[in-house]
Structure 1
């Protein structure tokens, strides 16, 4: 066996993973923690397959340390002896700065979180291990996992007892995997990228059960003697061959809802005597015996597979790598891999099964694929409410915020620093030069003092910071840490009017929230903004001005355009394009520019005998408001796509389906050609024909994934709906 660190560059290219050694921009954060580990067999031992261990969503929170060179070392080593290459998955380096940055992405104002799961980043693997995930998945991430399964791959869900809220953010793995919090409080209807995560109080609702026919229970059970009801191998696809009773050191069980999708591997037998875990928030043990549901289970969902176990203890080992994020103390993990009752054989057998593609899609008693046994009460009454009332497991340490990696202690995973770091002291009397752009600020060295001109586009870290975008290239941005006296006037959460305003920030180049930033801000001033068209028309002839407006039409062929006022379209001005600007900004050559907002800098003059702008030096499109080209599929074309394909299609709304939960979309020219569209909870109020009968006959654009719904060709995981008439 070899521990292979030489393939990391190739891994970065294939996954989008970040390493500081590949980029000087990432030199400060993660200096102690930049080598993403990989364990690989020798070439002669390799089976050509890859297993990813995810640590992008909280697998290293609290005492958890589920990394392949930490408390899952033994598991990873065992897989290498089987011929697997084992890699750690951290996320996607979106800004190519050499590191993976974690940010609070629960609010739409922050779009730079890189600790995310995308299908492109994991598709090279055969198996993905999700261990004690403590941060909820976005809808896009759930879709990525579904695509992974649809491609014939396997996912191993390793959970723990309810309330194993390792980072004290009110989420544990049972809730994250199920797709909803145990609480039904309004705050868990997160909306936006996440959708509604309130407890549906139904066993057949939630992301996990809808895709795999199974859900994790919210129980907490102890049975270190070993759960002994091991199902015979001829009923478990051979996975339980040579498996002995498995210890449960405070764990959860599962409930099978759809026996054709899921079946149990290990249950409490009639002679087992499990007890309530001493720290369980309710009865802990609901029914006992097989009625408590399986401790370990598998699922077959279309082309792919999944496996589940309700405790990490029998799989982990006693070699944690990182310090605790909240306290900086050394972690302590259970030596389950070598303990009596370990799950070593079971875990390896599970990965071997997950990594083997098979053509059958369900457990249907055909060809030896025995169906499962439904759990008699798949959602106990106790599971319909939250004994914690939406509170975290315990009180966070002073200054610790699970959603803010700047508060993590040194040498913990995702912390800004390791040993021996020093925070640079600010110069109490910085002497800035003339204002520079955000682009120039990003290129400046750490510790540089300057004044930066930019546009306020969002909050960052709640009320504590803002995002400053380049005036000319809005996608280029830097974070600004606000001092307490500056937040009321300049943080968008406290002062929404500041959004889109140009400001001049005087401070010191540094990192903030793990990203490029400005700290030690001594002064913030409002900067002059671009003129409206109405104001530009009142400007003196010959004056150089900067103005903003909406592109109304082409003028004089390719040589000019007409710009109208954003608030009063009756005010218009003609803009003469220079020869080097026409290919890019002439509406005749670029009709997609019609309706776009642009900022123009030039000299107030006359053009074509009307008010105009000549000698134009710069033109910049504001934001991302250029309409996308129409590449919509027809319903007929979408019906030819394979399940798991991401599509954008357009058709006519024909009818409501399944009450308010879906609609039928047809080709306008052929009503018999139709597809079902499953609506997300946030979409039903506006797009369900049952709730809005006037929608019948309207044209609708749908963005989602091809997947059967109610035994009919359909689209699920709908990310966007747009009425076209």
Structure 2
């Protein structure tokens, strides 16, 4: 074999090794990226139970227990793809179970626990991606308002759920609509930071009057497409783009123009964080809860209800 032939064989061997090695690198890179994506994707969702969410006939927690505790029981590590919503018994248990099935973790902020941001506590809001507050029936303190608003301002996601005017379940003079409006209009950070005001009314209707765009991931997200929303005695909202230029209505009353009032679901950004607001707790209600509470299966009443809440949850978590 002459020298040229030997050199040709060596060159071909190097090229073959190089190509095989590149293939291995591509495979390994794909595996690494997938693993990394899985590692960074899980988000932490905190459901509030500090504002009388279980007063009266309410049960707006993921796990009722005797007194809702930080970690729902049985442990969420036992949830599989086939786990049913009554794995936990709380009005929001189906929502919590669904989030865990998507790979996330859920916790409750128990009654008596301070709402803080930037502190050292284990349940300080800085430790979570999304804070869900359903029907708060006790006014937030000045410090709590500051914590919630700054949590959003610095990147957190806030899910605001109100209910109809007069739904004061603990008879302290403040229902959830008034509580939310008090937070937005009476705080030390910024007046109406999210540009949303809850209307003090009560409506019941099913609407298909939604934003027509297909690029909005709250209405058209990974969990499906939202086509309807049903209020069973809920409060509408108005938005103010002067207060917050990013606020927008997503779903309106069926007979309304798509303007700044008669809104049933809205979203906004504030700072680097995000906000979603719905004026009725019924669509999130899965019908399970503490003994003696009368609850209704709004979560499954319309397929769009679970889709809306899950798409919104993922949007708030920046997924």
TM > 0.5 fold call: yes
Q: Determine which of 310, 313, 319 is the counterpart of 1:351.
A: 313
CA distance in 2, matches of 1:341, 1:318: 15
> Could you tell which deviates more after superposition, 339-348 or 66-75?
339-348
Change (3 A) 1:144 1:66: same
1:518-552 C-alpha deviation (Å, 9 max, x unpaired): xxxxxxxxxxxxxxxxxxxxxxxxxxxxxxxxxxx
Q: CA deviation at 1:290?
A: 4.3
What SS class does the counterpart of residue 307 from structure 2 fall into?
A: helix
CA distance in 1, matches of 2:312, 2:257: 23
Q: CA deviation at 1:65?
A: 0.6
2:192 aligned partner: 210
1:394-430 C-alpha deviation (Å, 9 max, x unpaired): xxxxxxxxxxxxxxxxxxxxxxxxxxxxxxxxxxxxx
Q: CA deviation at 1:238?
A: 2.1
1:317 aligned partner: 286
CA distance in 2, matches of 1:333, 1:233: 34
> For 1:190-589, what aligned pairs fall within 5 Å after superposition?
205-207=185-187, 210-223=192-205, 226-234=206-214, 237-241=216-220, 242-258=225-241, 260-270=245-255, 290=258, 292-321=261-290, 330-340=292-302, 342-356=304-318
The structure with higher relative contact order (CA 8 Å, sep 6+) is 2
Q: CA deviation at 1:234?
A: 4.3
Q: CA deviation at 1:293?
A: 2.4
Contact 1:269 1:290 (8 Å CA) reproduced: no
What SS class does the counterpart of residue 308 from structure 2 fall into?
A: helix
CA distance in 2, matches of 1:71, 1:159: 15
Unmatched 5+ residue regions in structure 2? 1-37, 64-89
CA distance in 2, matches of 1:46, 1:168: 43
1:117 aligned partner: 115
Q: CA deviation at 1:161?
A: 0.6
CA distance in 2, matches of 1:158, 1:205: 17
Q: CA deviation at 1:132?
A: 0.2
1:569-600 C-alpha deviation (Å, 9 max, x unpaired): xxxxxxxxxxxxxxxxxxxxxxxxxxxxxxxx
Q: CA deviation at 1:48?
A: 2.5
- Which of 1 and 2 has greater Rg? 1
| Alignment RMSD | 2.2
CA distance in 2, matches of 1:210, 1:89: 25
Aligned: 1:80 with 2:95: no
CA distance in 2, matches of 1:257, 1:61: 32
Contact 1:76 1:86 (8 Å CA) reproduced: yes
CA distance in 2, matches of 1:342, 1:314: 9
Change (3 A) 1:342 1:62: farther
Q: Determine which of 29, 48, 51 is the counterpart of 1:54.
A: 48
Q: CA deviation at 1:261?
A: 2.9
CA distance in 1, matches of 2:138, 2:155: 25
The TM-score, its normalising length taken from structure 1, stands at 0.32
Whichever structure has more strand as a proportion of its residues is: 1
CA distance in 2, matches of 1:216, 1:262: 14
1:299-326 C-alpha deviation (Å, 9 max, x unpaired): 11111111100001111111112x5xxx
Contact 1:57 1:116 (8 Å CA) reproduced: no
Q: CA deviation at 1:248?
A: 0.7
Contact 2:249 2:258 (8 Å CA) reproduced: no
What SS class does the counterpart of residue 99 from structure 2 fall into?
A: helix
Q: CA deviation at 1:47?
A: 3.0
Unmatched 5+ residue regions in structure 1? 1-43, 92-113, 181-203, 271-287, 324-329, 358-725
Change (3 A) 1:172 1:48: same
What SS class does the counterpart of residue 45 from structure 2 fall into?
A: strand
CA distance in 2, matches of 1:46, 1:316: 30
Contact 2:155 2:272 (8 Å CA) reproduced: yes
What SS class does the counterpart of residue 247 from structure 1 fall into?
A: strand
Whichever structure has more helix as a proportion of its residues is: 2
The TM-score, its normalising length taken from structure 2, stands at 0.71
Q: CA deviation at 1:75?
A: 0.7
